Structure 1
């Protein structure tokens, strides 16, 4: 038996009861905040890693990865699960990866966001790339499996129900907010039949950027949060008034978390300058009480924060987000 096989069978043998022994204080959604069991406001600052399937296949899936994430200043790590990887590895074997991450993170004080990482129109069944291909049935099945498996484990703070809903400017067909609203409400109902405590996260349209439908039709569910991905190319400058209009207003009433922010850094870029996107978006989110997660702690995905797995050397955007998290956490 190979070492990899022994690793998987050993983790399977541990089972969910051992997994639940390593937990952190429960996170809840209250008003427009995320709070801990004492009712104290928790503003998360975190990092997204690559798909765990990719990381494991490349030989880097181990506790050291999450220790480096924590040392960057993160309090939350996002685990993006691509539907194609979920199917190829099989749910049972993919759960082994997630179990190990949750166990490692619980031991070092990192919360976890499990993200169903698809991009496209779930209603029409059309997606931006083959790796994102899924279906309503598979999406509901995924969340039934995840919620049943991780119920009782408070290290898993968030279930991010769908990464980036988009019609791709009509190329993926039409979908109304009312339809998307009902789909998410049905997903939340399903999740809560197994797990009533982990916080579901709902993304807006335009690749998880536009939350303006909340003015008229918020999700009919308590104890949830909303997702935004405010990349610099989403709107022209000046950014701040557009951010106010598109998602910032929602933070006055609901918990909001930017589960992806990021930028490409080039040599000579004033990445820590007052007018730079990185500075402005992190300051904006902090001032509005919006938790944030930087994309992506990885060597090959854009815009990567790592230059090398061997040395853990950071790129310019990696250095920026390390500094931003440490400064904000003081």
Structure 2
């Protein structure tokens, strides 16, 4: 046991004693815990379901290869991703001004990552983080994508970054609870599994079908995003066999390591371009690093070699996108250590200004 741990123990004991005292006097159990950074997380108000406010956004519907607002107006989403809220909260960054800043850029959607290990550890994660994210997004006219940021094979656990958790059980339980909680929130979108990998297309199709059915049993109307295999980079198998059911779109990750093949966009066409002719496709993660170290060589690119060609391809094919990450630590980062846009972030900010007038 380190000296630091010994110094920290009295604070934990004091908080535990206070919680016991409250329970003894009021009969109410006071739940609390500490974050990984030793930040005391006090209780938050809980509710059975999320109730949208007066700022509720129009419902989304899928028609052919388009996503529609109120069954009429086609929408192409443009926005950014933020890291798991518990990570942001450890740095005192999970606040409403973050969402205001994103909306101010011209975004119409924000994607929030949920790490399975954090969800499993923080018992009130839903009310503490996701309810707040949905409320702040709604107040700023932003759609919210909840991304279950799991990796690997959910059946075997191969290639997963999460340890000590039954990933298959956790994934189905997460969506059963979250879809029930947000079933009346048309501005909330469900992205079922961030980075499927180490699993073949046929097996992933079955899981995508079953996860979508789990959500549909609770939330019959909301938009579902189905990710591709290969760490979310390949949707090609769904072109011939889409997931059954309505209001389903497809999410793909596009990073510089997916080469353009024999010509501009050739590999993009194979992985998601062909599917976009018949089904809605959203690039739910893209980005690059201009000065990537060797350990991040898969992100090495710049605006001219990757950013502009990708944006041109997506515009030509009617595909929306979400850049990530709107952070200075999660990679590819859009922000410098001072939380101001870096080169990648400045490029995205310029793009969002152009799209800002189309927000709902």
**Normalising to structure 1: TM-score of the pair?**
0.87
Larger Rg: 1 or 2?
Answer: 2
Match of 1:55 in 2: 88
1:51-107 CA-partner distances (Å, limit 9, x unpaired): 1110011111111101111122211000110100001112x3343211111111111
**Normalising to structure 2: TM-score of the pair?**
0.81
Q: How does 1:38-187 map to 2 (within 5 A)?
A: 38-90=71-123, 92-130=124-162, 134-156=166-188, 158-167=189-198, 175-187=199-211
Q: How many pairs are equivalent?
A: 313
SS at match of 1:247: helix
Match of 1:195 in 2: 219
Q: Is 2:151–2:231's contact at 8 Å kept on the other side of the alignment? A: yes
1:232-290 CA-partner distances (Å, limit 9, x unpaired): 111245341221122101111000001000000249x99554xx311111121122111
1:133-178 CA-partner distances (Å, limit 9, x unpaired): 552111110000100000111121x2000001111xxxxxxx3322
Q: Distance in 2 between matches of 1:226 and 1:28?
A: 13
Match of 1:170 in 2: none
Q: Distance in 2 between matches of 1:202 and 1:132?
A: 25
Q: Is 1:83–1:132's contact at 8 Å kept on the other side of the alignment? A: no
Worse-superposed segment, 318-327 or 177-186: 177-186
Aligned: 1:326 with 2:358:
no
Q: How does 1:234-249 map to 2 (within 5 A)?
A: 234-237=258-261, 238-249=263-274
Match of 1:12 in 2: 46
Deviation for aligned residue 1:29: 1.5
Q: Is 1:185–1:220's contact at 8 Å kept on the other side of the alignment? A: yes
Q: Distance in 2 between matches of 1:18 and 1:247?
A: 35
Q: Is 2:195–2:229's contact at 8 Å kept on the other side of the alignment? A: yes
Alpha-carbon RMSD across the aligned residues, in angstroms, is: 2.4
Deviation for aligned residue 1:132: 9.8
Question: Which runs of no fewer than 5 residues in structure 1 stay unpaired?
Answer: 168-174
Q: Is 1:127–1:133's contact at 8 Å kept on the other side of the alignment? A: no
Q: Is 1:126–1:133's contact at 8 Å kept on the other side of the alignment? A: no
Aligned: 1:224 with 2:248:
yes
